[in-house]
Amino acid sequence: MCIRDRIRYAKLSSQRQGVLISSFFVGTMQFHSYSLKLIECACSLLVWTHFAACFWYFLGSSSDSPKNWVASFSYQNESGIRLYLYSFYWAVVSLTTAGYGDIRATNTSEWFTCIV
């Protein structure tokens, strides 16, 4: 093989290697794009669940009536963070439609919130 053939072979192999490397990066970028979409979806779900939990917490702790979910399950002496965790649990169970029913609506405003 003469020097000119070796140079030509080196150019072709470097071009082929460049194509393989560029296709690898395109595939990686596509994967990266899908993982960003998945992370964005998970964060969005977490934010909406937080809003639902905050609203459920507000409904249970704002009224002094004995007929709310906090009073019905004797959670009046629980800390605020514990009530939030109960509310977050309710939101996750409600949004995933598992609906265990261990924390449920007990008055009209809570029923309306569950329907909406």
Q: For 92-103, write each residue's pLDDT tens digit.
A: 988 887 777 677
Q: Which two tokens stand for residue 28?
A: 């990686």
Residue 99 amino acid letter: G
Where would I find the H helices in 63-107? 69-72, 80-95
Residues contacting 84, CB < 8 A, separation 6+ = 53, 54, 57
Is 68 in contact with 110 (CB distance < 8 Å)?
yes
Is 87 in contact with 56 (CB distance < 8 Å)?
yes
Residues 68-85 have a mean pLDDT of 84
Report pLDDT digits (tens) over 28-50.
556 677 778 888 899 999 999 99
Taking the model in full, what pTM does it have?
A: 0.63
